[in-house]
Structure 1
Amino acid sequence: MLAHQTDPHITIDLSASEQNSQIEPNNLIQSEAFTKLTNQIKERLINRKSSESYSPALGNSQVFFIDGTRGAGKSTFLSAVYNALCYGSTAQIKELKLAPLQLIDPSKIHIREHVFLSILYKIKKTVDSHNRENSQYRSDSSNDTNEHFRNQFKQLAGGLQLLNEEHNPLTNIDEEVFLDWGIERAKDGVELAKNFQNLVELTCKILDANALVIAIDDADTNFKKGREILELIRCYLDTSRFVVLFTGDMKLYSHLVRDHYHENMGDRLYRQDPSRNVQREKLIDHLEDQYLLKLFPINKRIQLPPLWIHKSIDNIFLTHSIWGAEPRKLDVVVTRIITDGLRLKSDQDIQLFREFLYKQPLRSILQLLNTCAPYLVSENSSITPTILSEAMRAMVQGSLYKKEVDIDALGAGDTPTLIDAVFRLTLEDGEFDTGAYLRPQPKDESLRKSFAALSTEVARLCENSTANTIKYLLQGPGSVALYKDSRSSMKIDDDETAQGRFKNYLSIGREEDALNWAWHATPVIMNSTTPSTPIRCGVIRLSRSTGSNSNATTIEQILTELELKPDEELPAFAFTLINVFDKDNRTYASIFNTLGLMCRLLRDTNKNPLTHVTDELSKIRPTPTISAPRWSEGTGPEDSLHKEDETEPSYKTESKLFANLAEWITETKRQEKNVNPSAILIGKIWTRLYFSLINVAQNYSTEAHSTTGAATIMEFYALCVINAVFVEEHEHHYSSNRNPDTSNNFRKNPKQSGSTINSKFKDFKKGDYPLTTIIGGCPLILNLLPNIITYTELFSALSASEKNNPGVPERTHAYINLASIPRQARKNKSNNN
């Protein structure tokens, strides 16, 4: 896995990362741990007194525990240390005179075969091999030693029977024979440890070694064998004649030992005397700590840290067979993969994902790098979200399974699966405002890993697609925010049931477009099953009838009159409307309908752009009607969608709005190649938009603005959309060439003055802001603004048409402002009285 070293650099050959080739110690990432371990072994062997004898009470343990989480590189490290100690060519290593005995992988030993027998077999095989190789040099003394070895080996036979707990040769025999054999059997058991120590001493003498080296790899992967090996070390290997290298995760061994003591206590004690259960738990805590401290003293534990806290991370380099001979810095490659694959711009966000990746197991990091390496042929190559999403998805697959994410559907690019996962996991995380940024920050490890994988999926979904970006914006972060605000009004106690009803109503997890979401979001925002203020986040309630107020005018009356006049055009405001069927039928204007309609217009089609615009707009004029959510009735509502009037309108296809939309669609297809949003960017756009809309709604709900018309309120809703996309794209869009602007004026949201937003567009360049150009420049948005001098710079910067000004005529804007809003109708009525 690791190739060569250029002092003081460590170089990792990614193309060889899947090979099991031997690794030199100075090429180990954990070279400091190797030095610490070998120094401890050398110090103990050199300082050991030759007269020191084995003590069953104290032990002379040389058991070294190599601690690390799964995938931390323990097996690689263990193999390198074992080979270095046993076959190393340096003078320091040779001076230790260590003889290799066995590198044990307990998972490959038959479940019924005791590990002790495997060690005895290796001792005998090693001695026999040594004798064969040195037969011509054997003397009488060496023959006597070997004969002594064979006799000593035979003395173990009786005690070895005791290792098989299921076999008892004393069953059903004569009493006198039982006594004789029982005493002999007890003697064999008592003498087994001593006889084994004598055998090891003879082995070291024959091999001319100070100690035998045993390496045991990941015994914690098999609980039965793990417990057996721990007892083997405690009873037989805690001697200065063994150097035992032991790998694993201390957390797993802690569970293993605890399970052992719980098993010994038995359920019967817990049931018969529950009053002392707390005392028993404390006793088990103590026994667990002391057992592990005796086997693995603190000063003999070697920690293999993750890359994140590696002191020399800047000195780690990467090579690959297709890269050429020049190594590349690990940190540079990782930063490039994160930046390109996740479409990040902010240094803070890049650092956050970099930290997350370095905290993963070493095996995971190397496999992800190896997957990406073929796409980084030159140092200027970049990784696409598609490549990184595949690697990230495989790296955290277990966490995605745990969180019940359909990995196959996710890999196939299924949008409903992605949005459903983002919705569920963000709610589980509990960070409703910022959770949908999908930063790897949750406390729960599986959530953290899932967020990282979903971030790459969002970048892949939205790459070069404005429609997917808007769809995810609304259905992902938008659904989370709406659920948070509507949960208190849902008369459902169970959270799971409430989530299910909410998802069904907004079609989360189903293949529905963004306009369908926008329609259903309107009554959720307005809480239409109960009385509410007529102006809320991005939505305005409009009167359907004038009632007794002769001064009031309905929006339908205004729009119908505009349609009939030959010199007037239907404004974009007409396509913001939705009727909600409830106890009282209600009409709403929503800025979210405008965003949803954008997605429909950007669908792939073989139609002429103008024909496509006409067809799509005709489907939502007259205004559609949907059912309100009846959260309190215990069942999700039957979703109905119909039109108030099925008479097809006679559109003027030569109208300015239709022509501008057709031109916008064509221009968007050219601009979309530069659209590269991240989950963070889209999340931030939603957050800024959502709270901006709330502020505008609150402002125009006050008594001071009680006469402000629907057109003016919708004008500021539109400014909120333009401003939110522009500000966040400036700071977080991957392809934006502009440095972040920290001035208060730039980040200021619209509230009462449109000139504040207009001034931001004086030096606007479309090439630097593709998302703002497309969304903010859509005629459906710009036509909600009056064609007045206040928006001169904004129209000039964003309009796709050089011939037609996209703003709504000032007289039309003023006419729509006459549309009755319920609170205005009530005020006018009270004034007339």
Structure 2
Amino acid sequence: MTTTYIPLDKSESAEQIKPETILPRPIYDDLVNFIDIARDEAKSVDKDYNKSERSHKAISIDGERGSGKTSILVNLKSYIKTTKPELLNDVHILEPIDPTLLEDGESLFLHVIVAAILHDEDIKKAQSGNANKDGSFSHTLEKLASALESVDDQKDLRGMDKIRSLYGNKHLVNCVTDFFKSTLKLLNKHLLVLPIDDVDTSLNLAFENLEIIRRYLVAPCVLPIVSGDRKLYDEVCWRDFHGRLTKDSSYQELQAFNIAQELANEYQRKILPLPRRLSMPAVETYWANTEIKLGTDTGMPLPNFIAWLEIFLAGPVNGLENSKLNIPVPSIRALTQFINHCGDLISKLPNEVTAEQSQLAIKQRWQMPETNLSAVDKFQHKYAELTKRVDRKYDEAYKEFEKIESEPKSALKEFSGKHASLTKEWVHKLKTYFQYEPKAGSHYLTLLAKEHWLELKEQKSQFTSVFSTPLFQPLTHNCGELKLFDKPYDMSDWSQKLLKKLPDLWFDPIKDKRTRPC
């Protein structure tokens, strides 16, 4: 397995200059394989190409916002350069095409695709370096522009002009294909890869953009790679079909809904074939990957960092009865932003955290800084051994633990000295990040409480309660900086649980209050 690392000091960017910083590798490998096959197919039909040959072979990359789809499209060419450079002798990969560049009122996503080709630096250089090929390229471009213009004018034409325009529309596919082939001839290559980023983003034109892919990007010499959220594709498609079915009548709306969903499924099956669908991994799958490092390829393993975060966000809990808070980092974009936010402190972490392989040992060492971990291990094994006995007397396990614990602990004391200052820094750093994450209300309340307790410990005050923090004050969750957090619970059951303990009038103001308990 290849080691990958996430830089600590790099600003958020889809482009990754170094291949060692590219995630996720399996998606790239699948894309390279698909491109390799498409290149061979394009070569085989290059000489005996029949314009009637149409095939839907678009590759789709499914993922929610922030899952890293754009980064894959941006870095695909760089990845191929480092892993299979000979492939680029026959393949030209355009920069990712953005469908949102379509202005309101434009009907053809083809305008943006053609503009992206004309803007490509390699194509500009090829035009200036070969006058003969450039002439052919310009000729096919003129034919395509004329066909596009006739399609745009259809709505204003009548009679024979309308018929001529529709006839021109029929040949638009051929004009598009000829333009693609002349582009490849200009570059002396066989396959044109069109990465199309987030087709679903421009919602008002999302279905129309998919229609362009269905109608025109079907030649063997073209390979579209379409990224987006497939759930949103499905929503856009069935709603479009449903709108057409119910446009003239709302009779049997439920039946129309079922038909629309079936049509949407088959439509997507056609333009985005199932065997060519790739899905971005959930961010949680990276957390267990020990081959992903932080900072450098020899830095702290990502699972160690996750264990480190759980020390502050969950604490020494067993996970039962909803006691373990999940880390509110929903996407790879959020993860890289978070690592960048904590980068200055990550570099300060002691070797006991960064080099340790066992996540449990990391938590034990930090949460019990003055405890000998070998004593804990021996106690655990002895306890498990005694559990198998009939009498189940565990005093031997405790005696063995006490014996090891009584040994000198100079190294442990040194480690314990790092404990207080680092804890305070990390609690503050995490608090400043999660205060803006809507789903991190429980985590923010927990960090506020930890910060409060650390201050009490330093001041050794006897006049401030440990409960004097918003974690134990649910009525404050609707005020100030706590207002932005999601609050899925209310206080409607308080009146029943506190019946006859408090006046009824006390409950009236809190019935509609929302809260986010830990």
Normalised to the residue count of structure 1, the TM-score between the two structures is: 0.45
Name the counterpart of 2:450.
459
Name the counterpart of 1:104.
97
Name the counterpart of 1:609.
none
Counterparts in 2 of 1:376 and 1:134: CA distance versus 1, 3 Å: closer
Deviation at 1:330, TM superposition (A): 1.3
> For residues 59 and 299 of structure 2, what CA distance do their matches in structure 1 show?
34
Name the counterpart of 2:179.
199
Equivalent in 371, 376, 386 of residue 341 of structure 2: 371
Deviation at 1:232, TM superposition (A): 1.2
Q: Which amino acid aligns with 1:346?
A: V
Name the counterpart of 1:336.
308
Name the counterpart of 2:408.
none
Deviation at 1:348, TM superposition (A): 4.0
Deviation at 1:42, TM superposition (A): 0.6
Name the counterpart of 1:420.
none
Equivalent in 26, 40, 55 of residue 46 of structure 1: 40
Counterparts in 2 of 1:328 and 1:352: CA distance versus 1, 3 Å: farther
Secondary structure of 2:192's partner?
strand
Deviation at 1:464, TM superposition (A): 3.9
Secondary structure of 2:294's partner?
strand
The question of whether the paired residues in 2 share the 8 Å contact of 1:66 and 1:302 is answered with: yes
Counterparts in 2 of 1:343 and 1:47: CA distance versus 1, 3 Å: closer
Equivalent in 282, 297, 304 of residue 273 of structure 2: 297
Deviations 1:773-805 (A, max 9, x none): xxxxxxxxxxxxxxxxxxxxxxxxxxxxxxxxx
Secondary structure of 1:94's partner?
helix
> For residues 22 and 636 of structure 1, what CA distance do their matches in structure 2 show?
53
Name the counterpart of 1:388.
430
> For residues 275 and 476 of structure 2, what CA distance do their matches in structure 1 show?
53
Deviation at 1:304, TM superposition (A): 1.3
Counterparts in 2 of 1:460 and 1:55: CA distance versus 1, 3 Å: farther
- Report percent identity of matched pairs: 18
The count of aligned residue pairs is 418
Deviation at 1:45, TM superposition (A): 2.2
The question of whether the paired residues in 2 share the 8 Å contact of 1:67 and 1:248 is answered with: yes
Q: Which amino acid aligns with 2:69?
A: K
Deviations 1:69-111 (A, max 9, x none): 11111111111114445x668444235x112334212234434
Counterparts in 2 of 1:19 and 1:44: CA distance versus 1, 3 Å: closer
Q: Which amino acid aligns with 1:302?
A: L
Name the counterpart of 1:65.
60
Deviations 1:579-638 (A, max 9, x none): xxxxxxxxxxxxxxxxxxxxxxxxxxxxxxxxxxxxxxxxxxxxxxxxx51359x9679x
Name the counterpart of 1:118.
112
Q: Which amino acid aligns with 1:279?
A: Q
> For residues 280 and 209 of structure 1, what CA distance do their matches in structure 2 show?
47
> For residues 474 and 149 of structure 1, what CA distance do their matches in structure 2 show?
68
Deviation at 1:367, TM superposition (A): 1.2
* Mapping of residues 497-508 of structure 1, within 5 Å: none
Name the counterpart of 2:500.
527
> For residues 157 and 345 of structure 1, what CA distance do their matches in structure 2 show?
67
Q: Which amino acid aligns with 1:115?
A: F
Q: Which amino acid aligns with 1:104?
A: I
Name the counterpart of 1:712.
none
Alignment of 1:346 with 2:333, yes or no, is no
Counterparts in 2 of 1:23 and 1:31: CA distance versus 1, 3 Å: farther
Counterparts in 2 of 1:226 and 1:456: CA distance versus 1, 3 Å: farther
Structure 2 unaligned spans of 5+: 351-421, 457-461, 478-488, 511-515
Deviations 1:625-667 (A, max 9, x none): xxx51359x9679xxxxxxxxxxxxxxxxxxxxxxxxxxxxxx
> For residues 103 and 193 of structure 1, what CA distance do their matches in structure 2 show?
22
The question of whether the paired residues in 1 share the 8 Å contact of 2:151 and 2:166 is answered with: no
Q: Which amino acid aligns with 2:269?
A: L
> For residues 474 and 209 of structure 1, what CA distance do their matches in structure 2 show?
63
Secondary structure of 1:168's partner?
helix
Secondary structure of 1:75's partner?
helix
> For residues 251 and 203 of structure 1, what CA distance do their matches in structure 2 show?
34
The question of whether the paired residues in 2 share the 8 Å contact of 1:357 and 1:365 is answered with: no
> For residues 354 and 475 of structure 1, what CA distance do their matches in structure 2 show?
17
Name the counterpart of 2:148.
160
Q: Which amino acid aligns with 1:629?
A: P
> For residues 342 and 496 of structure 1, what CA distance do their matches in structure 2 show?
23
Name the counterpart of 2:261.
285
Normalised to the residue count of structure 2, the TM-score between the two structures is: 0.70
Deviations 1:51-77 (A, max 9, x none): 353446xx3233111111111111111
Deviation at 1:338, TM superposition (A): 2.7
> For residues 192 and 352 of structure 1, what CA distance do their matches in structure 2 show?
62
Counterparts in 2 of 1:220 and 1:526: CA distance versus 1, 3 Å: closer
> For residues 247 and 163 of structure 2, what CA distance do their matches in structure 1 show?
33
Counterparts in 2 of 1:378 and 1:71: CA distance versus 1, 3 Å: same
> For residues 354 and 32 of structure 1, what CA distance do their matches in structure 2 show?
30
Name the counterpart of 1:186.
166
Alignment of 1:238 with 2:185, yes or no, is no
